[in-house]
Amino acid sequence: MSGQRRVPGWLRKDSDRLPVEGELPSFEGATGWLNSPALNAAGLRGKVVVVDFWTYTCINWLRQLPYVRAWAEKYSDQGLVVIGVHTPEFPFEQDAGNVSRAVRDLRVDYPVAIDSDYAVWQAFDNHYWPALYFADAEGRIRHHHFGEGEYERSEMVIQQLLAEAGSPMSDSLVSVEGRGLEAPADWATLRTPETYAGYYRTESFASPGGVVQDKPHSYAVPPELRLNRWALSGDWTMRPHAPRLNTADGQVVYRFHARDLHVVMGPAAGAAVRFRVLLDGQPPGDAHGGDVDADGRGTVAEQRLYQLIRQPEAVADRTFEITFLDPGVEIFAFTFG
Protein backbone atom coordinates (compact mmCIF):
# COMPACT_ATOMS: atom_id res chain seq x y z
CA MET A 1 0.00 0.00 0.00
CA SER A 2 1.64 3.27 -1.07
CA GLY A 3 0.88 6.96 -1.41
CA GLN A 4 2.77 10.24 -1.59
CA ARG A 5 4.38 12.58 0.94
CA ARG A 6 6.63 15.61 0.80
CA VAL A 7 10.41 15.41 0.52
CA PRO A 8 12.07 16.69 3.73
CA GLY A 9 14.25 19.72 3.05
CA TRP A 10 17.31 18.20 4.71
CA LEU A 11 17.30 15.38 2.16
CA ARG A 12 17.51 17.76 -0.77
CA LYS A 13 20.86 19.12 0.42
CA ASP A 14 22.50 15.67 0.64
CA SER A 15 21.14 14.57 -2.72
CA ASP A 16 23.04 17.28 -4.64
CA ARG A 17 26.38 15.48 -4.26
CA LEU A 18 26.54 12.01 -5.80
CA PRO A 19 30.04 10.76 -6.63
CA VAL A 20 30.79 8.42 -9.54
CA GLU A 21 31.52 4.96 -8.10
CA GLY A 22 32.17 3.13 -11.37
CA GLU A 23 30.51 1.88 -14.55
CA LEU A 24 27.32 -0.18 -14.57
CA PRO A 25 28.58 -3.79 -14.92
CA SER A 26 27.35 -6.38 -17.39
CA PHE A 27 24.28 -8.59 -16.95
CA GLU A 28 25.52 -11.10 -19.54
CA GLY A 29 26.07 -13.85 -16.99
CA ALA A 30 22.36 -14.09 -16.12
CA THR A 31 21.00 -17.58 -16.76
CA GLY A 32 17.56 -16.24 -17.66
CA TRP A 33 15.17 -13.30 -17.41
CA LEU A 34 11.63 -12.86 -16.11
CA ASN A 35 9.20 -10.04 -16.98
CA SER A 36 11.56 -8.80 -19.72
CA PRO A 37 13.85 -9.83 -22.54
CA ALA A 38 17.54 -9.84 -21.62
CA LEU A 39 18.85 -6.37 -20.75
CA ASN A 40 22.39 -5.05 -21.04
CA ALA A 41 24.27 -1.98 -19.88
CA ALA A 42 24.60 -0.51 -23.38
CA GLY A 43 20.87 -0.83 -24.05
CA LEU A 44 20.08 0.90 -20.76
CA ARG A 45 21.92 4.12 -21.65
CA GLY A 46 19.57 7.06 -21.29
CA LYS A 47 17.72 5.37 -18.44
CA VAL A 48 18.24 5.68 -14.70
CA VAL A 49 18.74 2.16 -13.38
CA VAL A 50 18.23 0.68 -9.92
CA VAL A 51 19.69 -2.80 -9.50
CA ASP A 52 18.34 -4.75 -6.54
CA PHE A 53 20.12 -7.96 -5.50
CA TRP A 54 17.71 -10.33 -3.77
CA THR A 55 16.88 -13.90 -2.96
CA TYR A 56 13.30 -14.83 -2.35
CA THR A 57 13.62 -16.30 1.16
CA CYS A 58 15.53 -13.29 2.55
CA ILE A 59 13.37 -11.55 5.17
CA ASN A 60 15.46 -8.38 4.89
CA TRP A 61 14.71 -8.16 1.17
CA LEU A 62 11.04 -8.98 1.71
CA ARG A 63 10.77 -5.99 4.05
CA GLN A 64 12.51 -3.80 1.43
CA LEU A 65 10.33 -5.00 -1.45
CA PRO A 66 7.34 -2.64 -0.94
CA TYR A 67 9.61 0.36 -1.49
CA VAL A 68 11.30 -1.04 -4.60
CA ARG A 69 7.90 -2.02 -6.00
CA ALA A 70 6.54 1.50 -5.31
CA TRP A 71 9.57 3.19 -6.93
CA ALA A 72 9.22 1.06 -10.05
CA GLU A 73 5.54 1.97 -10.28
CA LYS A 74 5.96 5.69 -9.64
CA TYR A 75 9.02 6.49 -11.76
CA SER A 76 8.91 4.10 -14.74
CA ASP A 77 7.21 6.73 -16.91
CA GLN A 78 9.97 9.20 -16.02
CA GLY A 79 12.82 6.99 -17.24
CA LEU A 80 13.55 4.64 -14.33
CA VAL A 81 14.30 0.95 -14.90
CA VAL A 82 14.37 -1.31 -11.86
CA ILE A 83 16.17 -4.64 -12.32
CA GLY A 84 15.97 -7.33 -9.69
CA VAL A 85 18.94 -9.68 -9.73
CA HIS A 86 17.93 -12.96 -8.07
CA THR A 87 21.10 -14.59 -6.72
CA PRO A 88 20.32 -17.72 -4.66
CA GLU A 89 21.44 -18.28 -1.08
CA PHE A 90 20.12 -21.85 -0.72
CA PRO A 91 20.36 -24.63 -3.35
CA PHE A 92 16.61 -24.76 -3.96
CA GLU A 93 16.65 -21.07 -4.92
CA GLN A 94 18.61 -22.03 -8.03
CA ASP A 95 15.46 -23.70 -9.37
CA ALA A 96 14.03 -21.40 -12.05
CA GLY A 97 10.52 -22.67 -11.33
CA ASN A 98 10.82 -21.68 -7.67
CA VAL A 99 12.04 -18.21 -8.67
CA SER A 100 9.25 -17.78 -11.22
CA ARG A 101 6.64 -18.75 -8.62
CA ALA A 102 8.13 -16.31 -6.11
CA VAL A 103 8.10 -13.49 -8.66
CA ARG A 104 4.42 -14.14 -9.29
CA ASP A 105 3.39 -14.63 -5.66
CA LEU A 106 5.35 -11.60 -4.40
CA ARG A 107 4.06 -9.32 -7.19
CA VAL A 108 7.49 -8.50 -8.59
CA ASP A 109 6.50 -6.91 -11.90
CA TYR A 110 9.81 -5.31 -12.94
CA PRO A 111 12.55 -7.16 -14.91
CA VAL A 112 14.35 -9.94 -13.03
CA ALA A 113 17.73 -11.38 -14.01
CA ILE A 114 18.11 -14.97 -12.79
CA ASP A 115 21.68 -15.14 -11.49
CA SER A 116 21.95 -18.78 -10.43
CA ASP A 117 25.67 -18.95 -11.33
CA TYR A 118 26.56 -15.75 -9.39
CA ALA A 119 27.98 -14.16 -12.55
CA VAL A 120 26.15 -10.83 -12.14
CA TRP A 121 26.85 -10.87 -8.39
CA GLN A 122 30.58 -11.19 -9.15
CA ALA A 123 30.47 -8.56 -11.89
CA PHE A 124 29.16 -6.07 -9.31
CA ASP A 125 31.53 -7.45 -6.63
CA ASN A 126 28.46 -7.69 -4.43
CA HIS A 127 28.38 -9.37 -1.01
CA TYR A 128 24.92 -8.68 0.41
CA TRP A 129 21.19 -9.41 0.26
CA PRO A 130 19.53 -7.02 -0.27
CA ALA A 131 21.82 -4.59 -2.09
CA LEU A 132 20.81 -1.58 -4.16
CA TYR A 133 22.95 0.05 -6.87
CA PHE A 134 21.87 3.30 -8.54
CA ALA A 135 23.15 4.15 -12.05
CA ASP A 136 22.65 7.40 -13.94
CA ALA A 137 21.57 7.81 -17.57
CA GLU A 138 25.22 7.70 -18.67
CA GLY A 139 25.70 4.22 -17.23
CA ARG A 140 27.68 5.26 -14.14
CA ILE A 141 27.08 3.90 -10.62
CA ARG A 142 26.40 6.93 -8.42
CA HIS A 143 25.16 5.42 -5.15
CA HIS A 144 24.65 2.12 -3.36
CA HIS A 145 23.00 0.85 -0.19
CA PHE A 146 23.31 -2.51 1.56
CA GLY A 147 20.58 -3.99 3.77
CA GLU A 148 17.28 -2.52 4.88
CA GLY A 149 16.55 1.13 5.61
CA GLU A 150 17.50 4.55 4.20
CA TYR A 151 14.45 4.44 1.93
CA GLU A 152 14.01 8.21 1.86
CA ARG A 153 17.65 8.70 0.92
CA SER A 154 17.43 6.04 -1.80
CA GLU A 155 14.35 7.61 -3.36
CA MET A 156 15.98 11.03 -3.30
CA VAL A 157 18.91 9.55 -5.22
CA ILE A 158 16.47 8.24 -7.84
CA GLN A 159 14.88 11.68 -8.11
CA GLN A 160 18.26 13.39 -8.42
CA LEU A 161 19.44 11.07 -11.18
CA LEU A 162 16.16 11.45 -13.06
CA ALA A 163 16.46 15.25 -12.77
CA GLU A 164 20.00 15.09 -14.17
CA ALA A 165 18.57 13.13 -17.11
CA GLY A 166 15.98 15.83 -17.77
CA SER A 167 12.92 14.69 -15.83
CA PRO A 168 11.13 17.19 -13.58
CA MET A 169 12.33 17.01 -9.96
CA SER A 170 9.61 15.43 -7.82
CA ASP A 171 8.70 17.04 -4.50
CA SER A 172 7.16 13.95 -2.92
CA LEU A 173 8.20 10.53 -1.67
CA VAL A 174 6.24 7.31 -1.73
CA SER A 175 4.52 6.32 1.50
CA VAL A 176 4.61 2.57 2.00
CA GLU A 177 2.86 0.32 4.49
CA GLY A 178 4.33 -3.18 4.40
CA ARG A 179 1.99 -5.98 5.44
CA GLY A 180 2.46 -9.64 6.26
CA LEU A 181 6.04 -10.70 5.58
CA GLU A 182 6.73 -7.21 4.20
CA ALA A 183 5.99 -5.41 7.48
CA PRO A 184 9.01 -3.71 9.11
CA ALA A 185 10.67 -5.55 11.98
CA ASP A 186 9.98 -4.49 15.55
CA TRP A 187 13.58 -3.43 16.07
CA ALA A 188 12.95 -2.19 19.63
CA THR A 189 12.15 -5.71 20.87
CA LEU A 190 14.28 -7.84 18.53
CA ARG A 191 16.83 -9.80 20.60
CA THR A 192 17.31 -13.00 18.58
CA PRO A 193 19.58 -13.13 15.50
CA GLU A 194 19.11 -15.02 12.26
CA THR A 195 20.20 -18.64 12.65
CA TYR A 196 21.16 -21.16 9.96
CA ALA A 197 20.18 -24.77 10.60
CA GLY A 198 22.59 -26.74 8.38
CA TYR A 199 25.93 -27.71 9.91
CA TYR A 200 27.96 -25.49 7.56
CA ARG A 201 26.84 -22.37 9.41
CA THR A 202 24.66 -23.33 12.35
CA GLU A 203 25.15 -21.77 15.77
CA SER A 204 23.52 -22.06 19.19
CA PHE A 205 22.52 -25.71 18.67
CA ALA A 206 21.66 -27.21 22.07
CA SER A 207 20.68 -30.87 21.54
CA PRO A 208 22.82 -33.08 23.83
CA GLY A 209 25.82 -34.50 21.98
CA GLY A 210 25.78 -31.76 19.36
CA VAL A 211 25.62 -32.22 15.60
CA VAL A 212 26.14 -35.59 13.93
CA GLN A 213 26.97 -34.87 10.30
CA ASP A 214 25.40 -36.56 7.28
CA LYS A 215 23.85 -39.63 8.89
CA PRO A 216 20.58 -40.39 10.70
CA HIS A 217 20.68 -39.61 14.39
CA SER A 218 18.17 -39.46 17.23
CA TYR A 219 18.22 -35.96 18.75
CA ALA A 220 16.64 -34.69 21.96
CA VAL A 221 15.72 -31.35 23.50
CA PRO A 222 17.58 -30.53 26.73
CA PRO A 223 15.56 -30.10 29.95
CA GLU A 224 16.18 -26.34 29.86
CA LEU A 225 16.75 -24.20 26.79
CA ARG A 226 18.50 -20.85 27.23
CA LEU A 227 17.55 -17.75 25.26
CA ASN A 228 18.64 -17.84 21.60
CA ARG A 229 19.35 -21.57 21.68
CA TRP A 230 17.57 -24.21 19.60
CA ALA A 231 17.35 -27.99 19.47
CA LEU A 232 15.99 -30.93 17.49
CA SER A 233 13.97 -33.88 18.73
CA GLY A 234 13.47 -37.11 16.79
CA ASP A 235 15.30 -38.83 13.92
CA TRP A 236 17.03 -36.27 11.70
CA THR A 237 19.94 -36.25 9.26
CA MET A 238 21.98 -33.08 9.67
CA ARG A 239 23.18 -31.98 6.23
CA PRO A 240 25.38 -29.03 5.18
CA HIS A 241 22.48 -26.67 4.41
CA ALA A 242 19.59 -28.21 6.36
CA PRO A 243 18.62 -31.00 8.75
CA ARG A 244 16.14 -33.44 7.16
CA LEU A 245 13.48 -35.26 9.17
CA ASN A 246 13.54 -39.03 8.62
CA THR A 247 10.43 -40.09 10.59
CA ALA A 248 7.15 -38.49 11.62
CA ASP A 249 6.73 -36.43 14.81
CA GLY A 250 10.13 -34.77 14.75
CA GLN A 251 10.38 -31.43 16.50
CA VAL A 252 12.30 -28.17 16.49
CA VAL A 253 12.33 -26.07 19.67
CA TYR A 254 13.70 -22.49 19.85
CA ARG A 255 13.89 -20.08 22.80
CA PHE A 256 13.61 -16.61 21.25
CA HIS A 257 12.84 -12.94 21.90
CA ALA A 258 11.18 -11.19 18.93
CA ARG A 259 7.75 -10.22 17.66
CA ASP A 260 8.01 -12.44 14.58
CA LEU A 261 9.48 -15.89 13.97
CA HIS A 262 9.96 -17.25 10.45
CA VAL A 263 11.42 -20.51 9.19
CA VAL A 264 12.91 -21.16 5.75
CA MET A 265 11.89 -24.73 5.01
CA GLY A 266 10.48 -27.08 2.41
CA PRO A 267 9.59 -30.69 1.60
CA ALA A 268 12.65 -32.66 0.51
CA ALA A 269 10.81 -34.95 -1.91
CA GLY A 270 7.90 -32.74 -2.94
CA ALA A 271 5.23 -34.29 -0.72
CA ALA A 272 3.52 -31.83 1.62
CA VAL A 273 4.38 -32.04 5.32
CA ARG A 274 1.83 -31.20 8.01
CA PHE A 275 2.92 -29.45 11.20
CA ARG A 276 1.68 -27.98 14.47
CA VAL A 277 3.17 -24.94 16.25
CA LEU A 278 3.04 -24.23 19.99
CA LEU A 279 4.12 -21.10 21.84
CA ASP A 280 5.12 -21.70 25.47
CA GLY A 281 3.39 -25.06 25.21
CA GLN A 282 0.05 -23.65 23.99
CA PRO A 283 -1.54 -23.01 20.57
CA PRO A 284 -0.45 -19.54 19.39
CA GLY A 285 -3.95 -18.04 19.15
CA ASP A 286 -3.69 -14.36 18.17
CA ALA A 287 0.12 -14.73 17.95
CA HIS A 288 -0.07 -17.05 14.95
CA GLY A 289 1.75 -16.06 11.78
CA GLY A 290 0.40 -15.90 8.26
CA ASP A 291 1.20 -19.54 7.48
CA VAL A 292 -0.56 -21.14 10.46
CA ASP A 293 -4.01 -20.90 11.99
CA ALA A 294 -4.81 -19.91 15.59
CA ASP A 295 -4.52 -23.56 16.61
CA GLY A 296 -0.98 -23.62 15.20
CA ARG A 297 -1.68 -25.95 12.29
CA GLY A 298 -0.13 -25.57 8.86
CA THR A 299 1.43 -27.37 5.90
CA VAL A 300 4.84 -27.16 4.25
CA ALA A 301 4.05 -27.54 0.56
CA GLU A 302 6.92 -25.63 -1.11
CA GLN A 303 10.43 -24.38 -0.42
CA ARG A 304 10.14 -20.84 0.94
CA LEU A 305 10.04 -18.67 4.06
CA TYR A 306 7.09 -19.38 6.39
CA GLN A 307 5.80 -16.88 8.95
CA LEU A 308 4.86 -18.93 12.00
CA ILE A 309 4.65 -16.38 14.84
CA ARG A 310 3.58 -12.72 14.84
CA GLN A 311 2.85 -11.53 18.36
CA PRO A 312 0.27 -8.75 18.79
CA GLU A 313 1.17 -8.10 22.43
CA ALA A 314 4.20 -7.23 24.53
CA VAL A 315 7.24 -9.28 23.47
CA ALA A 316 9.06 -11.45 26.02
CA ASP A 317 11.28 -14.54 26.05
CA ARG A 318 9.15 -17.29 24.49
CA THR A 319 9.60 -20.95 23.60
CA PHE A 320 8.62 -21.90 20.06
CA GLU A 321 7.94 -25.54 19.23
CA ILE A 322 7.05 -27.06 15.88
CA THR A 323 6.13 -30.72 15.45
CA PHE A 324 6.08 -32.23 11.95
CA LEU A 325 3.41 -34.88 11.57
CA ASP A 326 5.02 -36.29 8.41
CA PRO A 327 8.66 -37.03 7.50
CA GLY A 328 10.68 -35.32 4.77
CA VAL A 329 10.87 -31.67 5.82
CA GLU A 330 14.15 -29.73 5.55
CA ILE A 331 14.88 -26.74 7.81
CA PHE A 332 17.27 -24.13 6.39
CA ALA A 333 17.13 -21.04 8.59
CA PHE A 334 15.27 -19.16 11.34
CA THR A 335 14.72 -15.41 10.95
CA PHE A 336 13.08 -12.90 13.28
CA GLY A 337 11.45 -9.50 13.18
**pLDDT tens figures, 105-139:** 999 999 999 999 999 999 999 999 999 999 999 99
Q: CA dist 114 to 56, 64, 111, Å?
A: 11, 19, 10
The answer to whether 258 and 187 have CB atoms below 8 angstroms apart is no
Q: Where in the chain is the domain with CATH 2.60.120.260?
A: 195-336
Does the pLDDT of residue 75 top 80, yes or no? yes
Q: 195-336 has which CATH code?
A: 2.60.120.260
> Nearest Cα to 334, choosing from 198, 149, 214?
198
Q: Name the E strands within 26-139.
A: 32-34, 48-54, 80-86, 112-114, 131-135
pLDDT of residue 31: 96
Q: Can you give 25-47 as a three-state secondary structure string?
A: CCCCCCCEEECCCCCCCHHHCCC
Q: Which residues pair with 201 in a beta bridge?
A: none
Farthest CA pair distance, the chain = 66
Q: What are phi and psi of 187, to 5 degrees?
A: -65, -30
- Who has greater pLDDT, 3 or 109? 109
Does the pLDDT of residue 171 top 90, yes or no? no
pLDDT of residue 10: 34
The answer to whether 329 and 300 have CB atoms below 8 angstroms apart is yes
| pLDDT single digits (tens) 209-252 | 999 999 999 999 999 999 999 999 999 999 999 999 999 999 99
pLDDT of residue 14: 45
Q: Where in the chain is the domain with CATH 3.40.30.10?
A: 2-182
**Which CATH architecture does the domain made up of 2-182 adopt?**
3-Layer(aba) Sandwich (3.40)
Query: Of the given ranges (16-30, 38-52, 206-220, 230-244), which has the lowest mean pLDDT?
Result: 16-30
The answer to whether 302 and 160 have CB atoms below 8 angstroms apart is no
Q: Which residues pair with 81 in a beta bridge?
A: 49
Q: pTM (2 decimals)? A: 0.92
The answer to whether 64 and 181 have CB atoms below 8 angstroms apart is no
Q: Sign of dihedral through CA atoms 149, 102, 277, 206?
A: negative
